[in-house]
Amino acid sequence: MASETVSSADYIKHHLTNWTYGQHPDGSWGFAHTAEEAAKMGFNAIHVDTLFWSISLGLLFLYFFHRAAKKATTGVPSGVVNFCEWIVEFIDTSVRGSFTAKNNLVAPMALTIFIWVFLMNFMDLIPVDVLPQIAAWVGSSFFGMDPHHVYFKVVPSTDPNATFGMAIAVYLIVLYYSIKIKGIGGFTAELTMQPFQSKNTAIQIIFIPVNFLLEFVSLIAKPVSLALRLFGNMYAGEMIFILIAIMFNAGLIMGIFGGFLQLGWAIFHILIITLQAFIFMTLTIVYMEMAHHDH
């Protein structure tokens, strides 16, 4: 999308709008042609670009690790095998340091979360105009679409649907193991018998609704905070890249200054995308540890 043909506000709105498929007001289903149409499609709308990139990056992760596993030998590893073994050892150390119970699911889940979230975050380092412009060219050349109405976000973790989807999936697993390990009675007791306790039965009964309110809020807050932390950080990072990109059309001096800003922010953003993937993985491990820990 050529930012010189639109205002800065339209440029930002275009880059922050998903490629959306949903139901139009007349009842028909199809792709949204404007940001307003996408917003009106509501809850049942599908963000095609988020699904495309998240699934593609997940398959890329599976392909490289499967390839490394087939090449692994007892000798000294090299290349992709060496890198994959280093990642696996890093995840194994993280799991052993935070998870004390026995569950063969935790380490593979932690590895999947870390690599998958990292790859989705890594898409933020691709210049903001490259892939949307390619999508606009394809849409206009092969489908006769207005290039300004071709939306293509490339960072799945800037979409709250993706981050909440991952967080809810993780927490459903956590709830499953909480009930499996502790039983319905034990899980219910954790929600109603702490943090306030008393040896007096009457007082303890009074404490039950108070304890449940506090623990239920804490229970719900965990997946919400898990999703919003990743979304907020990545959305803010993407916004900064977009704002810097606007500077390239504000003259030579501003363009040069914007280039230095973009380089500096990209270098710093490498730390952010890695840290956010690590935090998401670590909190998942901690929540699984809490699910296996009986108070």
Distance separating alpha carbons of residues 277 and 115, to the nearest angstrom = 8
Residue 59: how many CB atoms within 10 A of its CB?
10
Phi-psi region of 18 (alpha: psi -120 to 50; beta: other; left: phi over 0): beta
Select which of 56, 82, 218, 225 is catalytic.
225
Select which of 98, 140, 229, 249 is catalytic.
229
Helix (H) or strand (E) holding 21: strand 20-23
Closest CA to 83 of 94, 93, 71, 95: 71
**What are the helix (H) ranges across 123-251?**
130-143, 160-192, 201-247
Distance separating alpha carbons of residues 246 and 243, to the nearest angstrom = 5
- Write the CA distances from 246 to 4, 162, 242, integer angstroms: 9, 27, 7
Closest CA to 35 of 20, 22, 25, 48: 20
Q: At what angle do helices 201-247 and 252-292 cross, to 10 degrees?
A: 160
Distance separating alpha carbons of residues 15 and 49, to the nearest angstrom = 12
Q: Are 285 and 105 in contact (CB under 8 A)?
A: no
Is residue 54 flagged as an active site residue? no
Is residue 96 flagged as an active site residue? no
Select which of 18, 121, 157, 233 is catalytic.
233
- Token duo for residue 278: 């690590």
Q: Are 295 and 190 in contact (CB under 8 A)?
A: yes
Is residue 229 flagged as an active site residue? yes
Closest CA to 284 of 204, 172, 186: 172
Question: Would you please indicate which residues are annotated as catalytic (active-site) residues?
Answer: 225, 229, 233
